[in-house]
């Protein structure tokens, strides 16, 4: 079975290699990671106890791992930590957040020779996977080496459940290779059991993302002052912050903004694309659309003026920028991308709007809508809903207060996760 899987993986890699080569040259973000993911340029590990290896695929998982890593370092300071990612943006954030406390590297390609090199070099005491990131050869080699692997923040989305069912012969083996599983919700727990997990080994631990530290934002923060100046913001200026927009959505948001400006002339827009490689593309859309805009990366540069729109073309600043929002709009939800995490604006008590497709955060979106902590609207109604909220301070305040209450009420996943891990760390 594993031979068939590895053969198919190699065949897929060979057939898609021209695409990835061209994409790597164009976007300059894949080729640099290739040698490390093959296991040819791994980071050195410190001498001493074996590390706990935490795998966080991308930015969302890196952020979710922050409270867990902080608690591990506090309660078990002698245990070394290693953190891996798949995406470049996740790697940059992990190095920024954990570079002083953990070894940070890219996750291996799922071929035996790559995985074995990693396991021999890292030699982990345990591996913690976040959000159902399962790789057959990785799990097989960990099992053969006697390395316990845990899955935390586990979820099975509506989209992925069908895929996992179609390859149940492989899925069940992967899931049974896990030592323990912490699921986000009861529905996720039921789906993991359906796919082969022993019921006794699966617990509902909650969503680690709710435990993200939410320190207050300093209103005098230099970044916020620069943005206020660039957009000419007065204390009462209405600001729409769109976080993590996806390809095709910017047209939706810009069309809505045109309509909003006819009704709320002093409104401003801050637009944060999800993927850094699209920053120039979105800048081109703004320019061709006739918008007066500025790029965050160019604020303060001589000769650069402000405008009505700010393009947030930087990484790691979105939460601070959400503090400027009169209304926060969650990208990835107005076209069929599955939506993004609404917890950053929720942690700041901001009024939140998301679109019809929040399947990636199904339970969270349902909870927020049911508790009147967010508004969900069709794509074609976005402008009308934004105009309504921008003109109704009481409605905005109620949404924001409910969002903050839900954020606080659902915390505790880190403590539940550590309770499961504790016997393995003594």
Task: Report, as residue numbers or ranges, the catalytic residues.
Answer: 61
Two structure tokens written together for 93: 């954030």
Two structure tokens written together for 43: 């980071």
State the Cα–Cα distance between residues 413 and 212, nearest whole angstrom: 10
Q: What angle do CA 164, 167, 169 make, to 5 degrees?
A: 115
Two structure tokens written together for 268: 């401003």
Q: Within its chain, how far is the Cα of 171 from the centroid? A: 24
Q: Which of 213, 143, 206, 208 is nearest to 179 (CA)?
A: 143
First to last CA, the chain: 36
- With b for 16 or more beta-carbon neighbours within 10 A and e for fewer, the 35-64 pattern comes to ebbbbeebeeeeeeeebbbbbbbbbbbbbb
Are the CB atoms for 112 and 138 separated by under 8 Å?
A: no
Sign of CA dihedral 333, 337, 343, 344: negative
Q: Which one-letter DSSP state was computed for residue 50?
A: P
**Strand 52-55's sheet: what is its strand order?**
102-106, 81-85, 52-55, 126-130, 149-154, 180-183, 202-204
State the Cα–Cα distance between residues 74 and 81, nearest whole angstrom: 12
**Strand 239-245's sheet: what is its strand order?**
293-295, 309-311, 268-273, 239-245, 327-330, 351-354, 375-376
């Amino acid at each position: 079975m594993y031979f068939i899987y590895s053969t198919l993986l190699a065949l897929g890699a060979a057939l898609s290699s021209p695409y990835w080569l061209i994409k790597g040259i164009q976007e300059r973000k894949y080729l640099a990671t290739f040698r490390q993911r093959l296991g040819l340029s791994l980071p050195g590990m410190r001498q001493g106890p074996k590390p706990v290896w935490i795998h966080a695929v991308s930015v969302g998982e890196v952020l979710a791992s922050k409270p867990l890593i902080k608690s591990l370092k506090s309660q078990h300071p002698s245990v070394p930590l290693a953190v891996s990612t798949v995406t470049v943006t996740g790697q940059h954030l992990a190095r920024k957040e954990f570079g002083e406390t953990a070894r940070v590297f890219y996750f291996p390609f799922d071929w035996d020779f790559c995985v074995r090199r990693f396991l021999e070099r890292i030699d982990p005491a345990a591996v913690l996977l976040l959000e159902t990131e399962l790789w057959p050869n990785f799990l097989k080699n960990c099992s053969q080496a006697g390395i316990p692997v845990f899955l935390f923040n586990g979820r099975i989305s509506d989209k992925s459940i069908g895929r996992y069912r179609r390859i149940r012969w492989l899925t069940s083996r992967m899931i049974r290779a896990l030592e323990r599983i912490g699921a986000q919700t009861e529905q996720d727990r039921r789906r993991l059991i359906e796919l082969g997990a022993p019921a006794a080994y699966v617990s509902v631990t909650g969503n680690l993302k709710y435990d993200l530290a939410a320190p207050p934002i300093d209103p005098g923060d230099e970044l916020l002052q620069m943005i206020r100046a660039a957009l000419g913001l007065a204390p009462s200026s209405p600001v729409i912050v769109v976080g993590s927009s996806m390809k095709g959505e910017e047209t939706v948001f810009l069309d809505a903004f045109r309509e909003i400006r006819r009704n709320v002339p002093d409104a401003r827009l801050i637009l944060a694309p999800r993927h850094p490689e699209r920053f120039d593309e979105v800048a081109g859309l703004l320019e061709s659309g006739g918008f007066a805009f500025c790029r965050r990366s160019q604020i303060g540069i001589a000769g650069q003026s402000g405008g009505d729109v700010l393009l947030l073309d930087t990484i790691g600043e979105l939460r601070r920028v959400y503090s400027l929002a009169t209304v926060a709009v969650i990208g990835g939800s107005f076209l069929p991308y599955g939506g993004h995490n609404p917890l950053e604006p929720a942690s700041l008590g901001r009024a939140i709007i998301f679109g019809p497709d929040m399947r990636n955060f199904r339970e969270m979106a349902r909870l927020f809508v049911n508790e009147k902590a967010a508004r969900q609207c069709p794509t074609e109604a976005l402008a009308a809903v934004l105009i309504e909220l921008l003109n109704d301070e009481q409605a905005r305040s109620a949404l924001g207060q409910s969002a903050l209450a839900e954020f606080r009420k659902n915390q505790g996943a880190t403590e539940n996760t550590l309770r499961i891990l504790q016997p393995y760390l003594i």
